Copies of this chain bind each other. A is one copy, B any other.
Amino acid sequence: MKSSVSVQEADFDLSAEVRALTAGELSAGAVASFVGLVRDNNDGAGVADMTLEHYPGMTEKALNEIVAKAADRWELLGVRVIHRVGYLKPGEQIVLVAVSSPHRGNAFAACEFIMDYLKTQAPFWKKESTSEGGRWVDARDSDESALDKWKDQIGL
């Protein structure tokens, strides 16, 4: 399986990433992908912009471990993860997870699994500028409970 993880300030192009993921791999019948975007509102306040902080070194390590966990569990041909850091405005892309596989069930499951684990295991923190000033985004209980789904289903 080929996999690649990037943490970067630069934006990314979804088509180009998916094309690179499946290039020369003609047994890939399915690509599931996820793009996370900066929303213009959160917890009832307008969001003007956002700054993403991370833990250099650990970030790449954590993302690679999550990808390896997914590759252990599903038949995958390729995984691409990109997470942006730094200054972002509403509508901008934050994160990409793309997964290729011979069949769609594995691609969907692995893509959602990687996003769910990234949300609680990868060291990124968002600070929003809102009409009420700057604030660090609180973790959501729903992100913790999203992991329970995988624990129940596949005994992780």
Contacts and interface: CB of A to CB of B under 8 A. Distances in A.
Interface stretch (A2-10, A24-32, A51-59, A62-70): A24-32
Interface string A121-151: 0000000000000000000001000100000
Size category of the binding interface on chain A: 35 or more
A41 interface: yes
Interface string A99-125: 000111101100110010000000000
A41 B107 CA distance: 18
A90 B26 contact: yes
Contacts of A27: 39-41
Contact of A34 (B22, B32, B102, B115): B32
Contact of A35 (B31, B90, B103): B31
Contacts of A142: 103, 105
A46 to B, nearest CB: 10
A107 B41 CA distance: 18
A148 B70 CA distance: 24
23 contacts: A13-B15, A14-B18, A14-B33, A15-B15, A26-B40, A26-B41, A26-B90, A26-B91, A27-B41, A28-B37, A29-B36, A29-B37, A29-B39, A30-B34, A30-B36, A32-B32, A32-B34, A32-B111, A39-B102, A103-B142, A104-B112, A108-B111, A108-B112
Interface of A: 13-16, 18, 22, 26-41, 90-91, 102-105, 107-108, 111-112, 115, 142, 146
